[in-house]
Structure 1
Amino acid sequence: MTNLSDYQLRFPSLAFDLDTTLPRVRCGDNGAVELFLQGAHLSQFETRSGREILFMGDAAQFQAGKAIRGGVPICFPWFGPKKDDPQSAMHGFARTMEWEIVEADDKSLTLALSSDAQTQSIWPHPFRLVYRVEFEGETLRLSMEIKNTGTSAFKFELALHTYYRVADVSKIQIEGLEGKTYLDKTQDYARKVQKGAVSIGGETDRVYLNAGGPITLHDDGNEVRISNLRGWRSTIVWNPWQEKARTMPDLGEDDWKHFVCIESGVVVENAVELAAGGNYQLAIEIEAQATI
């Protein structure tokens, strides 16, 4: 684990919370961006106009080695259960490992995670992930580069599991997925085609294939536009709804009403085969827009 006092000397533009269970860093004016080093987990983005884009509930748990619910978890190198070992951690190990800060200024933060003995005991492939968070005004850009540092190809899945804060999930609309094929995980991965805008009226867990945006989230007079800068091929839309949310100890009683996950990635049929020495880049832009 990196000594936080060393980080403070190297990156004077950052503020570190030393009294939290997990190391946390704040960046930008008034701490516009907040991120935990475990999982490079982005937990806050407050726009210049004061709007909080990401959802983090009061019941979120912050424990070493345990995934954090809310914000932007990073799912890598697999999405969902590991196909050859369903007992392995859901969504891979990247979201529960400590990342290192490699660059920072008052408008950006770059972190990295490299394979080691621990990761190779779980997933036997050498790699390096480089994650860059950039923000200005009403806009957040998230960029991930995956490098195969080994001598043989590997296949991976990646998703930015973004929780967007909404006033009432039952009243939102998501545009940009019309006509796209999706796998409905609530119905044993039944293959369907989206008709019209997406609305949420019950438990929703869908993987839209070959669907890389742009997507617009309409929420009570506010909009969030999610744009594909590069490499985004799959979109996952998720909300547990009331009954399933009750089984989740890190969600408050009514939290399910106030978020929707619109995840950007390369998963399932869009998983990427990466040659030895190769790299893959995925980048999205999230822009808050008010319509009233």
Structure 2
Amino acid sequence: MPIETLQDKVVISLTPPALATPTTTGAVPATCTIYLHGATVTSWTVNGREMLFLSSKAILDGSKPIRGGIPLVFPQFGTYPGAPLPQHGFARTSTWRVLRTDVSPDETKATVVFVLTSSDLSLAARTAWPTPFRLEYTVTVDAVHHTLATDLAATNLATTTEFDMPFTWLLHTYLRVDAIEKTEIRGLEGHLYVNKAIADRDPTTQAFPALPIKEETDRVYQNVVPAAESHLHVLSGGRPAVEIVRTHGETAFRDVVVWNPWVDKAKAMADFGDDEYRHMVCVEVGDVVVPNAVSVAPGETRRAGQVLRALL
């Protein structure tokens, strides 16, 4: 079965047909695992190669956010004085439901749609964030194009015009790399960023085409407008490894976070191995630069997403 729904997760396994057809040419085996806890994608393999990072110490029993894969940040990025919710909101710590699944006739593409609504939240989360809402999260694996697409749709279910739904959101993607000292990110040249890893947090413009990861990195790039010629690329060992394409045009994610905890912070995290910083980098797309970066009117829906493409 291309899609298997288990008690705590959904597993996608795509195997190319023995005889290639015009629609299946280029297909390679692809798999994906998504936990219902946080609707967190924890694994995506392409032709046997793991593309995402999951800490060996990640906690998968639903007691805390999963360290790795693609945690979902909604409706609050980070934390700040007066913030109504814990760090990164409630989407990554809530139990999502499977809404529907779909497999293409040739079994080279599979989609799972998850849903989270106000009624799924804990009492504490509903009290802190009372706006009625519906989140749909669509995960699509394509074995022909070697892609993983993750799309979010946030709907404001309030019935009166007084209840706009302001929020921040982000796909907190952990990518696996061979060696962090040989990793660089391209596609951010000329964009303003704030470096949260240092005391001086004045906005700075990235002057060079490539961002190498040589130290603790926590950069928030703002207004990185998606365009056909400005996709993000992660290079590992001098060769392209992953392309990141933001989707949904005018409502596409506009901000990009690049994060690696480096030595000291890696050792300080209980659910992260001391040396695991050497094999991961987070490249996160979202709308996060200011609190309440996005606002959705009652009855309206906001959509944004990304497509990760493995460059084999």
Q: Percent identity?
A: 35
Report Cα offsets for 1:3-56 as digits up to 9, x if no partner: xxxxxxxxx7532445xxxx1220132770101001000001111x22211001
Partner of 1:233: 254
Whether 2:126 is the aligned partner of 1:110: answer no
Identify which of 87, 92, 105 aligns with 2:89.
Answer: 92
Q: Which runs of 5+ in 2 are unaligned?
A: 16-29, 104-109
TM-score, normalised on structure 2?
0.83
Partner of 2:156: 148
Identify which of 1, 14, 21 aligns with 2:3.
Answer: 14
Whether 2:199 is the aligned partner of 1:191: answer no
Asked if 1 retains the 8 angstrom alpha-carbon contact of 2:233 and 2:240, the reply is: no
Query: In structure 2, do the counterparts of structure 1 residues 50 and 215 end up closer, same or farther at CA, with 3 Å as the change threshold?
Result: same
Report Cα offsets for 1:43-83 as digits up to 9, x if no partner: 01111x22211001211112324101000000000000154
**Structure 1 residue 222: Cα displacement:** 4.0
Asked if 1 retains the 8 angstrom alpha-carbon contact of 2:56 and 2:273, the reply is: yes
Alignment of 1:103-252 (within 5 A): 103-106=100-103, 107-116=110-119, 118=123, 119-137=125-143, 138-150=146-158, 151=160, 152-188=163-199, 189-196=201-208, 197-213=210-226, 214-220=231-237, 221-230=239-248, 231-252=252-273
Partner of 1:41: 40
Asked if 1 retains the 8 angstrom alpha-carbon contact of 2:65 and 2:93, the reply is: yes
Mapped partners of 1:281, 1:16: distance in 2: 26
Partner of 2:20: none
Partner of 1:32: 31
TM-score, normalised on structure 1?
0.88
Asked if 2 retains the 8 angstrom alpha-carbon contact of 1:212 and 1:264, the reply is: no
Q: After the TM superposition, which of the residue ranges 206-215 and 106-115 deviates more from structure 2?
A: 206-215
Asked if 2 retains the 8 angstrom alpha-carbon contact of 1:147 and 1:278, the reply is: yes
The one-letter code matched in structure 2 to 1:224 is V
Asked if 1 retains the 8 angstrom alpha-carbon contact of 2:259 and 2:281, the reply is: yes
Asked if 1 retains the 8 angstrom alpha-carbon contact of 2:2 and 2:14, the reply is: no
Q: Which runs of 5+ in 1 are unaligned?
A: 1-11
Mapped partners of 1:161, 1:131: distance in 2: 14
Report Cα offsets for 1:193-243 as digits up to 9, x if no partner: 112111111111111001144101111234211012121111000000011
Mapped partners of 1:24, 1:129: distance in 2: 18
Mapped partners of 2:87, 2:242: distance in 1: 28
Structure 1 segments (4+ residues) deviating >6 Å: none
Mapped partners of 1:65, 1:212: distance in 2: 36
Partner of 1:79: 77
